[in-house]
Chains A and B, each alone.
Chain A
Amino acid sequence: MRPFSYQRVDSVSAAVQAGRIDANGHLDAPVQFLAGGTTLLDLMKLDVMRPQRIVDINPLETSLSDIAVESGDVRLGALARMSDVADHPAIRKDFPVIAQSLKLAASAQLRNMASLGGNVLQRTRCTYFRDVSWASCNKRIPGSGCAALEGVNRKHAVLGTSENCIATYPGDFAQALLALDATVDIAGVQGDRTIAFRDLHVKPGETPHVETTLLPGEIITAFRIAGEPWMKRSLYLKIRDRESYEFAIASAAVALDLQDGIVRQVRIAIGGMATVPWRSEEAEAVLTGKPLDEERARQAAQAAFAAARGRGENAFKPELGRETLVRALLEAATLEF
């Protein structure tokens, strides 16, 4: 690991001041915030991330780790730990897709450490990104090429890819946030702002090293959800190569407003398949206003993956993704509460 200096901050304003130094992409900035550290230390040990200064924001835990469900609305502080949110009774009862997405991720130890803010910013597991002995990775070294395009790419993305990057977004919780139309509170040097969660991540396009719309120094302070009673009818279905402690090879987050068998509204997000947390409005459009049966679920799944593109080893993924979504939709329809 390369040398760096360590600094602790005890206010959000001190954090954003310390982190405001400009960089190509937020995640490669010379100043990095330390929360749970589960991504950061790993990537520093691999020499993928090389921050010059670590700003430890854990002292902000007292003000930024609240888990509040009030009048049906949810506020999750960015420093709340995955395990605490996954075990929270009101979250489990009224927003099961959140609890399930968190519980099915990582291990008990990692969930005790990892913060929600860090979780959504976790970086891809692409081997060519994580192993610096590979010369070509546009995320790591902009303009260097992408070794995964013709490489070992069984786990790589089939949605939202470009000729420059097919690295999969690895997280689970982000799909739950999409399915519940969450917003993100952000603090920065210029002041506070709130954006839709779906506007946080950006597809690789020409600049795979730019992964989010966060500006230098900006810090996620909270996630918020305008709760609806029907969000109890939500779930996260995760398909993995092994039963536990593994990233998704395919996943679906579904929140379904179903009345008398008719879909009033539905929100669908897909994980393990895309370069960013992926919302499928195409699939939602197929279902909205219609009865939900297996045939309709299959049509929705077709729509969700109409633009999917496999390359080599990951050519099986669109079919797995479709089957995953069909199962998630049908399971959501049969939920009783």
Chain B
Amino acid sequence: MDASSPLKSSPPENLRDRCQTLDLVLQVNGRSRRVVADPRVTLLDALRENLGLTGSKKGCDHGQCGACTVHVDGRRVLSCLTFAAAAEGKHITTIEGLAPQEGDLHPMQQAFMDHDAFQCGYCTPGQIMSAVACVTEGHAETDADIREYMSGNLCRCAAYPNIVDAIKQAKPLMRERDA
């Protein structure tokens, strides 16, 4: 659906069009992916159910836990509180697209392994996506800053101290890599 979409120029007569189906193109991890979906489908559900990218996790589904964190146009957001339709035309990066190529690990992924920054692992993709953004935003300068700017990602296993250590390891490596 784009600016010339029939929906936009002539919206359905009834406010609630029970049959409306959106034909969307999402830019996910550098590829154009077609998603045909009901308007209710969130970005998280489109990624997991329509595109088979199950790395992004559904924890609370209400924007409280951070497990669904992805990057949209380079910014960390919650895919469970984003309609897939509203993400059209934007560049979406998920945990699957973080490493430069298959088989490699992003420095943040390696750091999470090195520091045992998880137990069950369910929150980990969201933690890592958030942690990468925390560094690129410049909010990983002190331990206190890391804790504050990572507070939107809950870990029921309470791996928090190790997550802070992992971010501190990855930060200089990310900067070296991007320099």
Contacts and interface: CB of A to CB of B under 8 A. Distances in A.
Contacts of A41: 42, 63, 80-83
Interface string B40-76: 1010000000000000000001110010010000011
A244 B151 contact: yes
B63 A110 contact: yes
Contacts of B30: none
A21 B83 CA distance: 23
B76 A112 contact: yes
A184 interface: no
Contact of A37 (B1, B3, B38, B86): B86
Interface residues of A, number: 37
A10 B2 CA distance: 11
B154 to A, nearest CB: 9
Contacts of B12: 5
B97 interface: no
Nearest to B69: A109
Given A42-B62, A245-B152, A54 B39 contact: yes
Contacts of B38: 3
A141 interface: no
B81 A5 contact: no
A109 B62 contact: no
Contacts of A1: 40
Contacts of B175: none
A220 B110 CA distance: 45
B78 A113 contact: yes
Interface in A149-188: none
Contact of B147 (A53, A106, A244): A244
Contacts of B66: 107, 109
A283 to B, nearest CB: 30
A187 to B, nearest CB: 19
Interface in A268-313: none
Nearest to B152: A107
A108 B76 contact: yes
Contacts of A3: 16-18, 20, 38-40
Nearest to A31: B15
Contact of A106 (B1, B18, B148, B152): B152
30 contacts: A5-B15, A5-B16, A5-B20, A5-B39, A6-B20, A6-B22, A6-B39, A7-B8, A8-B7, A8-B85, A18-B11, A31-B15, A41-B81, A41-B82, A42-B62, A45-B62, A53-B11, A56-B86, A83-B75, A107-B66, A107-B151, A108-B151, A109-B69, A109-B77, A110-B78, A110-B152, A113-B77, A244-B147, A244-B148, A245-B152
Given A8-B7, A38-B78, 6 more contacts: A8-B1, A41-B80, A41-B82, A53-B16, A108-B137, A109-B130
